Chains A and B, each alone.
Chain A
């Protein structure tokens, strides 16, 4: 985090980039990181928590290695995004927002990923998958699992 702090310390409007940077290091923002930021940049803890809880992007708890973002935007909704989420829930044995026991996946519903023409859509890392069905979504997860165990 030291490079990050050095880059933004004292800059106007630095709170969100600092939190984004911290999150990209740890995958979430641990309590200790908040404290370090407060001590070293002079930002108020309460302000940082205020911001971190306002935006959907920030997480205060650890997440899985792969975050599965299933789009529930309008186009995906009318094309049965629910079936995709339901199949994934069943296959991974988690609820929306939860992480699998092995720490490999976190399942999350999100609003529009901007690939509506391929609805229903999900995104894992920076990879987008379109025209999904529940079965296909589960197949993709299984492939990632196989890759991970090798």
Chain B
């Protein structure tokens, strides 16, 4: 019989939720009581909303425990290991019976995330044990030609997961066609979209899958050097990548004459980003790797012709690479079985915002947004009303509830005015103000504009000023027309994708939530009660007990009233800080 295994999820989300403490507690218990099990580590399995997670694997099956802490783990170890009786109430997933979280896993198909949460990302042996590097061995063993590899990727229908959705096989073909003594393949791990974390989870959870995908890509296009451009905000991903690269070198998957292929020398190094969203754009990324300011440049020439150090260069996203080994090993047809006609395979989505189960899911393309949010994501937090989902980050847009039956594939999402982007879904409920969200994104792009194009640099600033005015109750008739006009000009006249897509969050919110803009502009009201300047705080005299707490806490002494008598707020003094609202224990402060 195999030894019982206790596996702790130590991705950065898990660690943030306290997984390292749980791990140490288990270790301490094991040592103190001399318990007979194997203690192991893995990374995020996607159920971020239940972190910290611990899986116990014994002869009866696998039990995934969630929401653990140092107290609960004592109970779990004691009962499950000590008395062979699993603590059902903490089990969030098992194949043996249904749990409340069964629907989170049910409709998922894991290809890119196939190993995340199942292996120790710091062990190359565990990756190999789950078919790792077998795709590369297949290529070497069968002496698959470069064109065969490219054809396989082409036939799979895989489209780039970094946002643009360009067919990966086609990109590789172009890069292969350009002959040169030096060529590069770059992994874009900049993941700048706020609200997206799939690349981080992949790098932390299965770094070898990304490396193997890169190595196969390098073989296909005859690259001589590889770079992973990873943002510095992801220290754990960088650490695990470094370990993985070292291990791959030792085993001969990287270096000279890889797996005996004497025409294939290739190595990879990591370049840490220095914090600039625009560096996710290909030409800016290349400039940044070269040590310059990360400013995009005009294309053509495309990187496939002249990229890093002016040599042919192919850039793909983390998730794109993670799919490659699976496709080579299982065949293009197998991959293309999933998905829709023009968007094949599966897509990883990062669920966040006002959703019950935030985390990572991987589903076949073609599932409806509603199913992703309600079946997998469990619906809206606190059972509030679902208002919109933001997709595609600063380049994307807000899809309103009434379009939630839109399916997730590149073309259907584009038709709404949003984009698939990297797969972030930030869910919003009735307490989210759409004007505020639009303003939030413009603040972001305005800050991140590299400044090269006037339309992007100045245009987004002007748009932001208008939005700021609107949220301060100083909106004017005609503002929406002005916003739209500026939007189209910025889209048409900017050099790179940042400027060309920056107005999208504004355009989609105007399209779908025009009445909300109008409430701000005409009625000087914020229906979602978010825009501070448009709020009023008053006291409900029936509920007020005269406890004086609000008056004591008001920073500007705007509240008056005698002890045990209803208080009132002097509107001309109130700075709308909301302090009274949060301090009153009797719900007597009314926000409107």
B395 to chain A, nearest CB (A): 12
- Alpha-carbon separation in the docked complex, A115 to B441 (Å): 19
Point out the residues of chain A lying under 8 angstroms from B448, CB to CB: 111
Chain A positions 110 through 126: 1 when the CB is less than 8 Å from some CB of chain B, otherwise 0: 11111111110101001
Judged by a CB distance under 8 angstroms, whether B432 is at the interface is yes
Point out the residues of chain B lying under 8 angstroms from A57, CB to CB: 232, 274-275
Point out the residues of chain A lying under 8 angstroms from B48, CB to CB: 117-118
Within 8 A of B (CB), among A108-146: 110-119, 121, 123, 126-131
B358–A116 touching, CB < 8 Å? yes
Chain B positions 229 through 254: 1 when the CB is less than 8 Å from some CB of chain A, otherwise 0: 00011111000000000000000000
Most buried by B among A13, A79, A112: A112
Known: A112-B194, A115-B13, A117-B48. A15 touches B276 (CB 8 A): no
Known: A74-B393, A75-B194, A114-B200. A20 touches B272 (CB 8 A): yes
Judged by a CB distance under 8 angstroms, whether A12 is at the interface is yes
Most buried by A among B274, B289, B437, B448: B274
The residue on B at minimum CB distance from A11 is B291
B352–A119 touching, CB < 8 Å? yes
A115–B309 touching, CB < 8 Å? no
Q: Which of A55, A74, A110 contacts B353 (CB 8 A)?
A: A74
Known: A57-B232, A75-B426. A128 touches B194 (CB 8 A): no
Judged by a CB distance under 8 angstroms, whether A50 is at the interface is yes
Q: Which of A14, A47, A55, A74 contacts B195 (CB 8 A)?
A: A74
- Alpha-carbon separation in the docked complex, A33 to B194 (Å): 33
Q: Which of B191, B393, B428, B441 contacts A114 (CB 8 A)?
A: B191
Point out the residues of chain B lying under 8 angstroms from A19, CB to CB: 274
Interface of B is mostly: mixed
Point out the residues of chain B lying under 8 angstroms from A77, CB to CB: 194, 437, 440
Judged by a CB distance under 8 angstroms, whether A56 is at the interface is yes
Most buried by B among A17, A110, A118: A118
Point out the residues of chain B lying under 8 angstroms from A123, CB to CB: 233
Q: Which of B233, B236, B276, B437 contacts A55 (CB 8 A)?
A: B276
Within 8 A of A (CB), among B242-281: 271-272, 274-277
Known: A111-B192, A111-B444, A112-B193. A16 touches B274 (CB 8 A): yes
Judged by a CB distance under 8 angstroms, whether A78 is at the interface is yes
- Alpha-carbon separation in the docked complex, A123 to B359 (Å): 19
Most buried by A among B192, B195, B350, B359: B195
User: Which bracket fits the contact residues of A?
Assistant: 35 or more
Judged by a CB distance under 8 angstroms, whether B390 is at the interface is yes
Judged by a CB distance under 8 angstroms, whether B16 is at the interface is yes
Point out the residues of chain A lying under 8 angstroms from B15, CB to CB: 128
Chain B positions 341 through 356: 1 when the CB is less than 8 Å from some CB of chain A, otherwise 0: 0000000001111100
Known: A112-B194, A114-B200, A117-B352. A78 touches B428 (CB 8 A): yes
A109 to chain B, nearest CB (A): 10
- Alpha-carbon separation in the docked complex, A112 to B440 (Å): 13
Judged by a CB distance under 8 angstroms, whether B365 is at the interface is no
- Alpha-carbon separation in the docked complex, A42 to B191 (Å): 33
A40 to chain B, nearest CB (A): 16
B207 to chain A, nearest CB (A): 15
B363 to chain A, nearest CB (A): 17
Chain A positions 50 through 78: 1 when the CB is less than 8 Å from some CB of chain B, otherwise 0: 11001111100000000000000111111
Point out the residues of chain B lying under 8 angstroms from A128, CB to CB: 12-13, 15-16
A51–B292 touching, CB < 8 Å? yes
- Alpha-carbon separation in the docked complex, A127 to B16 (Å): 7
Point out the residues of chain A lying under 8 angstroms from B200, CB to CB: 114
Known: A75-B426, A116-B197, A130-B13. A54 touches B293 (CB 8 A): yes
Point out the residues of chain B lying under 8 angstroms from A75, CB to CB: 194-195, 352-353, 358, 426
Point out the residues of chain A lying under 8 angstroms from B175, CB to CB: none
Point out the residues of chain A lying under 8 angstroms from B288, CB to CB: 16
- Alpha-carbon separation in the docked complex, A123 to B426 (Å): 21
- Alpha-carbon separation in the docked complex, A14 to B196 (Å): 30
- Alpha-carbon separation in the docked complex, A16 to B236 (Å): 20
Please report B residues at the A interface, Cβ cutoff 8 Å.
Answer: 12-13, 15-17, 48-49, 51, 191-197, 200, 232-236, 271-272, 274-277, 288-294, 309, 350-354, 358-360, 390, 393, 424, 426, 428, 432, 437, 440-441, 444, 448, 450
Please report A residues at the B interface, Cβ cutoff 8 Å.
Answer: 12-17, 19-20, 47, 50-51, 54-58, 73-79, 110-119, 121, 123, 126-131
Given A116-B426, A126-B236, 17 additional A-B pairs, CB 8 A: A13-B290, A74-B194, A74-B353, A75-B353, A76-B194, A111-B448, A112-B193, A112-B194, A112-B195, A112-B197, A114-B200, A114-B233, A117-B197, A117-B350, A119-B352, A119-B353, A127-B16
